[in-house]
């Protein structure tokens, strides 16, 4: 990887760290939330942007991490760290099981199967309402939202933990896609038949990519539950899978920084549109269509082209 690439990604990490002491209170909270959601989008990007697996079920991995953490904290009174690992483990296990089944299909069939799994997971949350609290969701106990004497609900620790999770995930993703395993994933995305002819076990590598993707998404969901204190069935709905897809497409599929750019852009687009009209989704929709038409590689894809053209 070139020095320019390292400078760009580490510079972003340093900028986000510095913003902790600069941003006003409202934007401080927004950026903290966006960084956690961007990790969810990064997980989706591993499957879709780098491997070509168009999934409509990634919300179930995010929600598995969220519910795994929240339920362990609520019913077993676990601390923040064990609860987070419980959520991560739940997402990894779910990704492995659903991946083994869903990857027996391909293309549109894979998309439909992942959607069906996600809907089944969502309905399961509602059906077992005595445990999950159904549509109402539940608040994560304050006792579980502490590490030693640090309260994760406080603005400063919440931001820094979101920053740390984002930074580790971004650097890890960067390493992954530059490693031989990541190169094979890109080859599968571009032409799976040719990758198979070259001797690669594409099925195992796609399963590995989906498990990594689901684990990253689950880690984001687990962190969201601890940092923002709420677990709800809406996060398992298909709209959150679509959000992840939009964030990746807007930022730039197959780019490491793209998920953050897309998440941040869409969050503020919706936020600013609500100040103008009640039909804020109309404004958001028009802007998204224009970006798709004139920046088909996403915002980061367009900026990366400019970056490469620099002397």
Side-chain-facing half-sphere of 148: CA atoms under 13 Å: 2
Q: Cα separation of 215 and 237, whole Å?
A: 18
CB 178 within 8 A of CB 1: yes
Look at 86 and 252; give whichever has higher pLDDT: 86
Specify the DSSP class assigned to residue 278.
Answer: S
Which pTM value belongs to this model?
0.94
Domain ranges of the chain: 3-309
3-state secondary structure of 119: helix
147 phi and psi, to 5 degrees? -125, 110
Count of CB atoms situated within 10 Å of the CB of 216:
32
Q: Per residue in 127-151, pLDDT tens? A: 998 999 888 889 998 888 888 888 8
Contacts 24+ apart (CB under 8 A), 293-298: 297/252, 297/253, 298/248, 298/249, 298/250, 298/251, 298/252, 298/253, 298/255, 298/258, 298/261, 298/262
Please report which confidence band the pLDDT of residue 119 belongs to, taking 50, 70 and 90 as the band edges. very high
Tell me the pLDDT tens digit for each residue of 203-213. Answer: 999 999 999 99
Contact (Cβ atoms closer than 8 angstroms) between residue 160 and residue 20: yes
pLDDT tier at 286, thresholds 50, 70, 90:
confident
Q: What angle do CA 14, 20, 22 make, to 5 degrees?
A: 100
Percent of the chain at pLDDT > 90 equals 62
Most confident of 42-51, 133-142, 265-274, 293-302: 42-51
The secondary element (H helix, E strand) that includes residue 150 is strand 150-151
> Which residues, in sequence order, are CB contacts of 258 under 8 Å at separation 6+?
45, 49, 248, 250, 251, 252, 298, 299, 300, 301
Place of tokens 């039909």: 279
What pLDDT, in 10s, does the model give residues 187-203? Answer: 999 999 999 998 899 99
Alpha helices per DSSP H over 128-154? 129-132
CATH fold of 3-309 reads: ABC transporter involved in vitamin B12 uptake, BtuC (1.10.3470)
CA gap 73, 146 in Å, rounded: 11
Indicate if the pLDDT at residue 310 is higher than 70: no
Report the pLDDT value the prediction gives residue 291, as an integer from 0 to 100.
81
Q: What is the mean pLDDT of the chain?
A: 90
Residue linked to tokens 């927004």: 30
Cβ within 8 Å of residue 281, ≥6 positions away = 270, 273
Helix then strand then coil, in percent of the chain rounded to 5, is 75, 5, 20
Whether pLDDT at 169 is above 80: yes
Q: What is the pLDDT of residues 14-31, one digit of tens each?
A: 999 999 999 999 999 999
Nearest Cα neighbor of 161 from 225, 212, 214, 218 is 225
Query: What does the block give as tokens for 256?
Result: 């490491």
- pLDDT confidence of residue 272: 84
* Rounded-to-integer distance, Cα 3 and Cα 256, Å: 16
């Amino acid at each position: 990887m070139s020095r320019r690439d390292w400078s760009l990604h580490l510079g972003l990490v340093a900028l986000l760290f510095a913003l902790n002491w600069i941003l006003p209170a409202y934007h401080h909270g927004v950026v903290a939330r966006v960084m956690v959601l961007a990790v969810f989008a990064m997980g989706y990007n591993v499957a879709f942007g780098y491997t070509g697996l168009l999934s409509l079920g990634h919300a179930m991995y995010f929600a598995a991490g969220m519910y795994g953490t929240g339920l362990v904290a609520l019913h077993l009174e676990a601390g923040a760290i064990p609860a987070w690992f419980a959520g991560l483990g739940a997402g990894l296990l779910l990704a492995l099981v659903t991946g083994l089944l869903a990857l027996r299909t391909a293309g549109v069939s894979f998309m439909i199967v992942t959607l069906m799994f996600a809907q089944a997971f969502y309905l399961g949350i509602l059906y077992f309402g005595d445990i999950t609290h159904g549509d109402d969701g539940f608040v994560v106990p304050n006792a579980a939202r502490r590490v030693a004497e640090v309260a994760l609900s406080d603005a400063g620790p919440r931001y820094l933990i979101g920053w740390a999770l984002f930074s580790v995930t971004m650097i890890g993703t960067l390493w992954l896609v530059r490693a031989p395993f990541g190169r094979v994933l890109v080859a599968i995305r571009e032409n799976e038949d040719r990758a198979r002819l070259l001797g690669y076990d594409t099925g195992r590598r796609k399963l590995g990519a989906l498990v990594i993707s689901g684990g990253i998404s689950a880690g984001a969901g687990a962190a969201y539950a601890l940092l923002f204190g709420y677990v709800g069935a809406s996060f398992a709905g298909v709209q959150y899978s679509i959000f992840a897809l939009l964030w990746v497409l807007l930022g730039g599929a197959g780019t490491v920084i793209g998920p953050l750019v897309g998440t941040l852009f869409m969050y503020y687009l919706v936020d600013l549109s609500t100040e103008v009209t009640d039909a804020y989704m109309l404004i958001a929709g028009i802007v998204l269509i224009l970006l798709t038409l004139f920046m088909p590689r996403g915002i980061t894809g367009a900026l990366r082209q400019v970056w490469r053209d620099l002397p």
